[in-house]
Structure 1
Amino acid sequence: MKTKFLLSMLPLSLASAMAFSQSIDVQVTNLTHGMNFTPVLVSAHDGNTHLFTAGQAATVALQAMAEGGNTAPLITASAGTVVNTNNIANGLLAPSASSPVTAIETGVNTHLSIVAMMLPTNDGFIGLDGWKIPTEVGTYTVYLNGYDAGTEVNDEIIDTVNGGADDGIPGAPGMDAGTGASGVTDMETNTTVHIHRGNTGDTSLTAGISDVDSRIHRWLNPVAKVVVTVK
């Protein structure tokens, strides 16, 4: 009763901050066989903020991340939230690897979002959109799907000239993709953010329809595991 009385005497904004402020640790694990993730963007925010929304067109900031791994525009767009980028030593999160633990003081932020580009893809990314952070101390596990930003045709052609800046895959970090592909498709019917259909790939390293190796770069959801520790 004494604690309740003291809180009632505080200004409402301060009492709210004391009630909701918490610290969390976040770690992401790559569950795929042969895909790499660009540095993972972790954002704690209010319930009205979204880094992406399935079923809606991607923002310019999301497009920059999904097509080239550039998280800077999303960080700018998330002004006012707590944002951290897991800068893995070589810039990529390899298959079966886990990111460094990201420690976040969430303050009054109640929701968590996570994104990172998947390589090699045209505009595929791992995504967690507005997950409500538990208030009870403990460890929580969330599995993430691979999303398609809907901003680029999934032709699965490695772009060695422009690094994927104007269509094409920026590269295959494992140096295990092919060249000379004719392209899986030259059009997309769904231009909103949606669940990625996965790489098609083929087994030719010098021709075929795809530069992606179907023996290495195909995947099924989920593609990532997130462990959140509420302290």
Structure 2
Amino acid sequence: MKKSLVTLALTTVLGAASFASQAANIDVSITNATKGIYFTPLLVVAHSSDIHLFQAGTAASAEVKSMAEGGDISGLSSVAANAGAVVSEDPAGGILNPGDSATATLDTGSADRLSITAMLLPTNDGFVGLDSWTIPSTPGTYTIRLNGYDAGTEANDELKGSMPQPPFITFGENGTGVETSITNSKIHIHPGNLGDNDPAGGKSDLDSSAHRWLNPVAVVTVTVK
């Protein structure tokens, strides 16, 4: 159901010459900063400066689409690994609940950029993202606040039939749909869920008191050792 730009596989053999000169061991702690939004399994990747898991303003690749619409990070992980990136899959061991944190430890080797992705639940094609952040060469602790992105691959109708339905999320029903068509087909900042307070009708099958959110959606702490 999704598509996102992965210059990973398209950007040639990532030669060692394009990497930063020094290696670093880093801890990457991701905190879900929302009230009622869940993160699907996270993908944390250290890579060279000439690749991207996704980029705002571009069409989503098939791998990004799969992550943003269904939480499937396997395609993005494979593309990244095949491009020579250092990959950490699912450091939370599953869903990252609101308020919870997960930490990935990476030996970055010659990689000098950091990217992170995971689907936001419940959304149609929303995901939390960090695109090619420069890993500092100076040891220390660095904090980044992450926005939610819209993959642009699916209309944000907010209907339960259009998104995964895990048992820990209570959906309404009989919504007529917030959107009926895609208004921006490129990756862009997500406007957040609208929701409503009618569990048996209205426009949305999402509860505005629990599932409405604004950016940022995550806080990342990177410790460079």
CA RMSD of aligned residues (A): 1.6
Give the length in aligned residue pairs: 207
| TM-score, reference length from structure 2 | 0.88
Residue 227 of structure 1 is matched in structure 2 by: 221
What amino acid is the match of 2:116? I
Moved segments of 4+, more than 4 Å: none
In structure 1, the residue matched to 2:196 is 202
Candidates 158, 163, 177, aligned match of 2:171:
177
Indicate conservation of the 8 Å contact 1:114/1:128, yes or no: yes
Structure 1 match to 2:57: 55
Q: 1:85 aligns with which of 79, 83, 89?
A: 89
Structure 1 length as normaliser, TM-score? 0.86
Secondary structure, in 3 states, of the residue corresponding to 1:57? coil
Per-residue displacement from partner, 1:37-69 (whole Å, max 9, x unpaired)? 001100000001100000000000000000000
CA distance in 1, matches of 2:91, 2:170: 23
**What is the Cα deviation at residue 180 of structure 1?**
1.6
State the Cα distance separating 1:22 from its structure 2 match: 1.1
Return the alpha-carbon distance in structure 2 between the equivalents of residues 153 and 186 of structure 1: 6
Matched, 1:98 2:92: no
Contact 1:27 1:227 in 2 (8 A): yes
Give the aligned residue type for 1:92: I
Q: Which amino acid in structure 2 is aligned with residue 81 of structure 1?
A: A
Percent sequence identity over aligned pairs: 50
2:142 is matched with which residue: 132, 137, 140?
140
Pairwise CA distance, 1:182? 1.2
Contact in 2 for aligned 1:36/1:173 (Cα 8 Å): no
SS of corresponding position for 1:55: coil
| 1:111-190 matched pairs, under 5 angstroms | 111-159=113-161, 168-171=162-165, 174-190=168-184
Are the equivalent residues in 2 in contact too, given 1:120–1:173 (CA < 8 A)? Answer: no
Secondary structure at the residue paired with 1:65?
helix
Uncovered stretches (5+) of structure 2, i.e. residues with no partner: 1-15
Query: Structure 1 residue 88: deviation in Å?
Result: 2.6
Q: How does 1:32-71 map to 2 (within 5 A)?
A: 32-71=34-73
Q: Distance in 2 between matches of 1:172 and 1:155?
A: 18
Quote how far apart the aligned CAs of 1:87 are. 4.2
Spell out, residue by residue over 1:162-191, the C-alpha distance to the aligned partner (whole angstroms, 9 max, x if none): xxxxxx111255333211211111112210
- 2:12 paired residue number: none
Give secondary structure in 1 for the equivalent of 2:101: coil
Paired with 1:121 and 1:173, the residues of 2 have a C-alpha distance of 15
Shift of residue 128, structure 1, vs aligned partner: 0.3
Letter in 1 for 2:78: T
Unaligned runs of 5+ in 1: 1-12, 160-167
2:5 is matched with: none
